[in-house]
Amino acid sequence: MASIFTKIVNGEIPSYKVAENERFYAFLDINPLAKGHTLVIPKQETDYIFDLQPDDLGELMKFAQKVAVALKKTIACNRIGVAVLGLDVPHAHIHLVPLNSEADMNFRNPRKEFSKEEFEAIAEQIRSNF
């Protein structure tokens, strides 16, 4: 069965798209740790990120770098943090999280809430900086 992220790539369920190319897709995390929290995925579904072919992992990271640059231009923060968990969704993904302190990267923190309009505006701003 297709992962929820494959359904996002195929447009079967909606997402707030941040960036895309032929092989990779970036979209806002729906339960963000911070404003602008983005997920970067390969369109081709692989469960575990370290099962990717080394070149594919490199390309995914290069794409994530471009997204992180756009994210940093958009959201006032010290750094863009990078994390890989994959404990919930079995489709390799990189979390990019705008950080001001170490505590901002704690995945047990309460998630931020935004309206659909706010999510759309954030995604649009990042897209325009990509």
Q: In the complex, which residues of this chain contact ligand AMP (CB under 6 A)?
A: 4, 15, 29-31, 39, 85-89
Q: Give the residue with the Cβ less far from ligand AMP, 25 or 63.
A: 25
Shortest spacing between CB 95 and ligand AMP, in angstroms = 6
Q: Give the residue with the Cβ less far from ligand AMP, 48 or 69.
A: 48
Secondary structure string (H, E, C) spanning the chain: CCCHHHHHHCCCCCCCEEEECCCEEEEECCCCCCCCCEEEEECCCCCCHHHCCHHHHHHHHHHHHHHHHHHHHHCCCCEEEEECCCCCCCCCCEEEEEECCHHHHCCCCCCCCCCHHHHHHHHHHHHHHC
Q: Is 95 a catalytic residue?
A: no
Shortest spacing between CB 24 and ligand AMP, in angstroms = 15
Shortest spacing between CB 100 and ligand AMP, in angstroms = 19
Active site residues: 93
